[in-house]
C-alpha cells in the first residue's frame, strides 16, 4: 500500500474504520499503544480506544485483518489491509481470538465426540432397545395389539393378494368341507396345547411360496405353497406351531416398537448429509435382521416344544425347513431375517432330544404322506387338507410348482413374521 510506512516496526498505519453507528467508511490511522489500539481520524482526533484484551478478529477475506470488540453490541469494525501493520499488531496484541472460526482443535473434538455419540447409540440399539422392547411388549394391552393387527392386515393383504383368484382365502364355502374341517382340527389341537394371549385365527391363502406368517393380534396366514410342500401333518403342524410362537411372544407388537425405536434413534441423530439416509436404512436393516433372527429362533423353540407337548416329533419342522430353504451366501447371512435352516434344524433336534422323543423310524427321504398312527390327523383328513385350495372336489388336482415362484411384489416384512426365509433372500 504505502511503501514509506513498510518499516518493520510500524506502530501506526492506515486502516478503514466503521463505527457501528452509521455505515460511513472512514480512512483512519491506527496507533498501536502499549495496552490498547488507538483509532485516530484525519484530524488526529481519537475515534476509538480498544484495549487489546477486548479485541476479536472477525471473518474477512484473505489479507485483511478485521477487528472489533468482542461481546460488544455495537458492531464497530477496523479493517487493516496493510500486511506489515497487521504483523506488528500481532506482535503487540498477542493472541487475538478469532470469532466464529473453526479451529483444528474444535474439529478434532467434534469428530471425537460424534464418534462417541454414534458408538453409544449403536450400543443402545444393540442392547438397550431389545431390553426395553422385552419389558414393554408384555404390558401392551391385547386390545391394542388386535387393533394394530387389523391395520397391519389391510396392508398385508394388499401386498399379498395378487388378484388371480376369486377369493384370496382358501378353505371357505367353495372348498370341500372336509378339508376345512381337517385344517381347523389341526389348528385347534395346537391351540389347545398352547396358552396364547389372544385367540388364533388361521387362514389358508392363495400364495405359491412355501411360507406362513403371523400378524399382530393372532391372525396366521398359511400359504397354499406350504400345504403343497408339506409331506405330513407334523410338518405343517410344526410350521403353524412356529407361528403360534410368534403369537405367544407377541412378536408383531415387538417389531413395531423396535422399528420405531431404531428409526427414532438414528433418524434424529443422523441428519441429511449425502448418504446419511442410506446409512440410517443400512443400520436399521442390519439391526432389525439381527433382532429378527433371535425372534425366529425363539419361535422355533416354542413351536418345537408345542409339538413335543402333543407327543409328536418336532424334527418334522426341521425337515421341512431344510427342504425348503437354500443356503445363503456369506454376505446375505447378516441380512437374513431368519437363521440358517441348518442351525434351526439342529436347535430343534436338541429340543426333541431333550423331550425324549426318538426320531421317526422311516428315513426322511422315504417319508410319504402317511402319518404314524394316532397322529394329529388321520390319513383321510390329511388327504382332504392337502386339497383345501382346490375350487371344487371334482376338479383335477392342480399341478404343484416344484420351486416356490418368486413373488412379483415384496412380500412380508418386519411387521409380520414368516416361518421361512423369503425366497428372494434364500436364493442368494
Partner 1 sequence: MTDLALVPPVPPPVPPLPAPVLPPPIPLQLAAIGCFTGPMRAFRKIILRGALLQVVTFGIYRFWLTTDARRFLWANTEIGGDSLEYAGTAMELFLGFLMAIALLVPVYVMLFIGSLELGVWSQLSSIGAFGFLAVFGQYAYYRARRYRLTRTVFRGIRFHQSGSPFSYAVRSLFWGAVTLLSVGLAFPWAQASLERYKLAHTHYGAWQGQFAGSGTRLFARGVGLWLILILALVAAGVVATKFVDPNVLARAATPAGAKDPKLAIEVSKIMGIGFGVTVVAGIVYMLLQAIVMRWWLAGLRFGPLVITTTLRKRNIVGAYLRCFLYALLLMFSLSMIMSIALGIVAVAAKPPENVGQVLVIGSTMVIYLVMAIGIWVLYQMTIKLRIWRLAVDSISLAGFEAIEYVRADASLPSSAVGEGLADALGAGGI
User: Which of 3, 61, 363, 397 forms a contact with partner 1 (CB under 8 A)?
Assistant: 61
β partners of residue 202: 220
Other beta carbons within 10 angstroms of residue 412's beta carbon come to: 22
> Cβ closer to partner 1: 162 or 362?
162
Query: Is residue 164 within the footprint of partner 1 (CB under 8 A)?
Result: yes
> Cβ closer to partner 1: 209 or 300?
209
| Grid cell of 418 as nine digits | 414368516
CA 351 to chain centre: 31
Query: Is residue 102 within the footprint of partner 1 (CB under 8 A)?
Result: yes
User: Which of 147, 188, 342, 398 forms a contact with partner 1 (CB under 8 A)?
Assistant: 147
Query: Is residue 256 within the footprint of partner 1 (CB under 8 A)?
Result: yes
Task: Tell how strand 97-98 and strand 77-80 pair up.
Answer: unpaired
Query: Is residue 408 within the footprint of partner 1 (CB under 8 A)?
Result: yes
CA atoms within 13 A on the CB side of 222: 31
Distance CA(332)–CA(382), nearest Å, equals: 36
Nearest to 419, CA basis, from 225, 232, 285, 288:
225
Q: Exposed, middle or buried: residue 265 (CB in 10 Å: 0-12, 13-18, 19+)?
A: buried
Q: How far is the CB of 97 from partner 1 (least distance, A)?
A: 12
User: Which of 91, 134, 136, 260 forms a contact with partner 1 (CB under 8 A)?
Assistant: 260
Q: Helix, strand or coil for residue 178?
A: helix
Who contacts 208 (Cβ-Cβ below 8 Å, separation ≥6)? 223, 224, 225, 401, 404, 405
Query: Is residue 151 within the footprint of partner 1 (CB under 8 A)?
Result: yes
Distance CA(264)–CA(268), nearest Å, equals: 6
User: Which of 12, 14, 18, 360 forms a contact with partner 1 (CB under 8 A)?
Assistant: 18
Contact status, residue 149 vs residue 216, Cβ threshold 8 Å: yes
Interface stretch with partner 1, choices 192-200, 256-264, 300-308, 367-375 (CB under 8 A): 256-264
> Cβ closer to partner 1: 367 or 428?
428
Q: How far is the CB of 58 from partner 1 (least distance, A)?
A: 5
Encoded one letter per residue, x for contact with partner 1 by CB under 8 A and - for no contact, window 335-374 reads: ----------------------------------------
> Cβ closer to partner 1: 298 or 413?
413
Query: Is residue 115 within the footprint of partner 1 (CB under 8 A)?
Result: yes
Distance CA(369)–CA(36), nearest Å, equals: 100
Q: Which residues are catalytic?
A: 243
> Cβ closer to partner 1: 7 or 111?
111
Distance CA(239)–CA(221), nearest Å, equals: 11
| Site residues (CB under 8 A) for partner 1, limited to 185-244 | none
Query: Is residue 168 within the footprint of partner 1 (CB under 8 A)?
Result: no
Q: How many residues bind partner 1 (CB under 8 A)?
A: 65
| Site residues (CB under 8 A) for partner 1, limited to 22-51 | 22-27, 42
> Cβ closer to partner 1: 282 or 350?
282
β partners of residue 203: 221
Query: Is residue 20 within the footprint of partner 1 (CB under 8 A)?
Result: yes
Rg, Å, the chain Cα set:
37
β partners of residue 17: 26, 78
Query: Is residue 117 within the footprint of partner 1 (CB under 8 A)?
Result: yes
β partners of residue 418: 213
Contact status, residue 326 vs residue 277, Cβ threshold 8 Å: no
Indicate the Cα dihedral angle 384, 385, 386, 387, nearest 10°. Answer: 60
User: Which of 1, 7, 75, 134 forms a contact with partner 1 (CB under 8 A)?
Assistant: 75
Who contacts 33 (Cβ-Cβ below 8 Å, separation ≥6)? 49
Query: Is residue 69 within the footprint of partner 1 (CB under 8 A)?
Result: no
Query: Is residue 100 within the footprint of partner 1 (CB under 8 A)?
Result: yes
Applying CB under 8 A, the residues found at the interface with partner 1 are: 16, 18-27, 42, 58-62, 64, 66, 73-77, 99-102, 106-107, 110-111, 114-115, 117-118, 144, 147-148, 150-151, 162-164, 256, 260, 264, 268-276, 278-279, 329-332, 405, 408, 428
Amino acid at each position: 500500500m504505502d511503501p514509506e510506512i513498510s518499516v518493520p516496526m510500524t506502530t501506526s498505519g492506515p486502516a478503514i474504520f466503521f463505527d457501528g453507528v452509521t455505515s460511513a467508511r472512514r480512512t483512519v490511522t491506527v496507533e498501536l499503544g502499549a495496552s490498547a489500539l488507538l483509532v485516530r481520524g484525519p484530524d488526529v482526533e481519537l475515534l476509538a480506544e480498544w484495549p487489546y484484551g477486548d479485541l476479536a478478529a472477525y471473518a474477512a477475506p484473505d489479507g485483511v485483518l478485521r477487528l472489533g470488540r468482542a461481546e460488544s453490541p455495537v458492531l464497530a469494525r477496523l479493517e487493516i489491509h496493510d500486511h506489515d501493520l497487521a504483523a506488528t499488531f500481532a506482535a503487540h496484541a498477542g493472541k487475538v481470538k478469532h470469532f466464529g472460526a473453526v479451529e483444528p482443535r474444535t474439529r478434532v473434538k467434534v469428530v471425537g465426540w460424534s464418534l462417541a455419540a454414534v458408538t453409544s447409540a449403536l450400543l443402545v440399539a444393540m442392547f438397550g432397545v431389545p431390553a426395553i422392547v422385552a419389558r414393554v411388549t408384555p404390558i401392551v394391552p391385547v386390545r391394542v395389539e388386535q387393533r394394530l393387527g387389523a391395520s397391519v392386515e389391510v396392508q398385508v393383504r394388499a401386498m399379498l393378494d395378487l388378484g388371480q383368484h376369486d377369493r384370496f382365502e382358501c378353505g371357505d364355502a367353495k372348498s370341500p368341507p372336509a378339508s376345512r374341517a381337517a385344517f381347523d382340527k389341526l389348528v385347534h389341537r395346537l391351540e389347545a396345547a398352547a396358552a396364547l394371549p389372544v385367540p388364533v385365527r388361521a387362514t389358508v391363502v392363495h400364495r405359491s411360496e412355501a411360507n406362513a406368517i403371523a400378524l399382530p393380534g393372532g391372525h396366521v396366514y398359511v400359504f397354499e405353497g406350504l400345504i403343497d410342500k408339506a409331506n405330513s401333518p407334523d410338518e405343517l403342524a410344526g410350521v403353524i406351531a412356529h407361528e403360534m410362537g410368534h403369537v405367544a411372544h407377541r412378536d408383531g407388537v415387538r417389531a413395531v416398537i423396535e422399528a420405531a425405536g431404531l428409526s427414532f434413534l438414528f433418524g434424529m441423530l443422523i441428519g441429511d448429509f449425502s448418504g446419511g439416509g442410506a446409512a440410517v436404512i443400512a443400520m436399521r436393516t442390519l439391526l432389525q435382521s439381527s433382532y429378527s433372527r433371535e425372534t425366529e429362533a425363539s419361535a422355533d423353540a416354542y413351536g418345537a416344544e408345542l409339538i413335543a407337548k402333543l407327543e409328536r416329533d418336532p424334527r418334522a419342522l426341521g425337515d421341512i425347513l431344510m427342504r425348503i430353504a437354500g443356503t445363503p451366501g456369506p454376505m446375505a447371512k447378516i441380512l437374513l431375517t431368519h437363521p440358517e435352516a441348518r442351525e434351526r434344524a439342529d436347535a430343534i433336534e436338541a429340543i426333541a432330544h431333550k423331550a425324549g422323543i426318538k426320531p421317526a423310524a422311516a428315513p426322511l427321504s422315504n417319508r410319504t404322506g402317511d402319518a404314524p398312527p394316532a397322529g394329529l390327523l388321520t390319513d383321510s383328513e390329511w388327504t382332504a387338507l392337502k386339497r383345501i385350495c382346490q375350487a371344487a372336489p371334482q376338479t383335477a388336482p392342480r399341478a404343484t410348482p416344484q420351486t416356490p415362484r418368486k413373488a412379483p411384489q415384496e412380500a412380508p416384512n418386519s411387521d409380520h413374521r414368516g416361518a421361512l426365509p423369503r425366497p428372494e433372500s434364500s436364493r442368494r
